[in-house]
Structure 1
């Protein structure tokens, strides 16, 4: 049996061998160049089978590289903390402080507050009214010796002064009021206008008009006035029931104390459902709001206002056991619920 020839891996022929190489059998389907091209063909085939995967991988690498480069150029902002927010708020408040709650409430109610001047003559004297708010009508009488006029230095007569010889007597009083209907309906105290033959009101923009009494409610010391003419764009106050008031709630009193104004003072509700009898004992008022915002003669008839700018009461009296009639920390207001009834408005 014939054996297949054995081949040496050495390229050199063994010693003594013939220079003629024996004939080597070749497979029928083999080609001389097939053996050296095996490895490159495998890589080409692998790349061909995974071409899409390679392109996707290359794109992802490029995107990640771009993102990394952008972040290197533009580093991410630091996350805000509560300390950062607090510091920004403090800076804003220091630069532009917010108005107080009192100031906001006054800004809302100011266009609706009026000055009310009453006189028992034909022509009210504004200087006299400003000097003697809520004054009692003076009666003619002899001039006290200590108050005799000095030639060349005649003082102006006020409601608390007696008339000088040869001068007509004119008594005036000044109080406050608040517009409750934009047709010129004004709410004030009855004692501000009682006994006056002529009434004149001055609105917030300086516009003046005569006024008449169209309604009274003596049990609550309230009077309703109607101005004969009104300014353009007259603004009525917003009224709010006093039923939800609590002791400690902040309020402001707005009016013309001693004819000076409009003036605003701030305080709190001191109590509810209080009773008060006038110093003369002529009238007992009940279900009043007690407050400690400063009020003086001339504030009568003005609004008592909450911090949202709503009217909850009409300032009507102050308590002072002395004869000075000045504020010592206790003021009273009629709840707006009663005042609305006096104006013929539906209750809250």
Structure 2
């Protein structure tokens, strides 16, 4: 007797075996699923939806076209033209003008006075105008000066404020022998000044004004350690009593020596410069193009007896001046 096979190798047999039994005739049919509300809405408003989509697309295109476009890169010629136009409309200030603007609030006019009518008996009278130094000059413009009744000007020089309490640096020969010294600040304030200390070996004197402006600024000082010949400098002062005046030049040399025509004094370690300096510039600052003081103008060299500038001036390095004023070295 044969056993019934557990499985069949015939696909047809398997398909026939696994096929679901046929539904009996007359069995009830399931109802189709109802359409969703979104489909119903889309079907009813299909035209309106297409119009809305078209409007959104049109608005997007218009916004894109109205958006600012990045500027096209400028050509070299256009850049050059714009730069020239800007400079023509507002010229750039020169380095010398910037240096002058920075130093001028610290510059003062220094005047030494004698009592009127006593010049002939003054023991210092014979020493006043006999040196080729910018401050001991014949440019004392007023006799029996109207600024101080009973006094006459013996000479005009320049000073520079180095401490904002009214401490002023000038040349010794500007104030030497003067019975009274007055200084005028850049805002027009005039004040008496007293002598604090002197450095004859450097022809320097330190003054202190009796009153000062509220907004007084001290000059910025710079070491001369890296100062080089050819570096541009500015001399600021009151040449022949006119000023404040500025002249620009260069450092011509370093560590120079100068002896007064009478051989009274030898000054050493001087800065030589060619910015114009004349009688009245003595004691004024020699500044860099950054407006920083590197020296104090003290003498001019002129082989003639005219005592005017011929191209060689000398300044005392600011390190010597700072030490004499009791300030720490650089």
Matched, 1:263 2:245: yes
Distance in 1 separating the partners of 2:262 and 2:142: 29
- Out of 214, 219, 229, the residue aligned to residue 237 of structure 1 is 219
2:76 is aligned to: 82
2:137 is aligned to: 135
Distance in 1 separating the partners of 2:152 and 2:169: 25
- Out of 103, 106, 109, the residue aligned to residue 112 of structure 1 is 106
TM-score, structure 2 as length reference: 0.72
Query: In structure 2, do the counterparts of structure 1 residues 137 and 97 end up closer, same or farther at CA, with 3 Å as the change threshold?
Result: closer
- Out of 149, 152, 167, the residue aligned to residue 185 of structure 1 is 167
Distance in 2 separating the partners of 1:180 and 1:156: 29
Please give the residue correspondences for 1:333-344 in structure 2 after superposition, counting only pairs within 5 Å.
333-344=315-326
Q: Which has the larger radius of gyration?
A: 1
Deviation at 1:89? 1.4
Distance in 1 separating the partners of 2:154 and 2:178: 8
Secondary structure class of the residue paired with 2:157 = strand
1:97 is aligned to: 91
Count how many residue pairs are aligned between Structure 1 and Structure 2: 264
Distance in 1 separating the partners of 2:310 and 2:241: 19
Q: Contact between 2:110 and 2:157, CA under 8 Å: does it hold in 1?
A: yes
Distance in 2 separating the partners of 1:185 and 1:77: 58
RMSD: 3.5
Distance in 1 separating the partners of 2:186 and 2:262: 33
Secondary structure class of the residue paired with 1:242 = coil
- Out of 173, 177, 187, the residue aligned to residue 155 of structure 2 is 173
Q: Contact between 1:133 and 1:175, CA under 8 Å: does it hold in 2?
A: yes
Deviation at 1:156? 6.5
Please give the residue correspondences for 1:177-256 in structure 2 after superposition, counting only pairs within 5 Å.
177-256=159-238
Secondary structure class of the residue paired with 2:291 = coil
Distance in 2 separating the partners of 1:119 and 1:108: 30
Deviation at 1:67? 5.8
Distance in 2 separating the partners of 1:73 and 1:116: 67
Q: Contact between 2:113 and 2:151, CA under 8 Å: does it hold in 1?
A: no
TM-score, structure 1 as length reference: 0.68
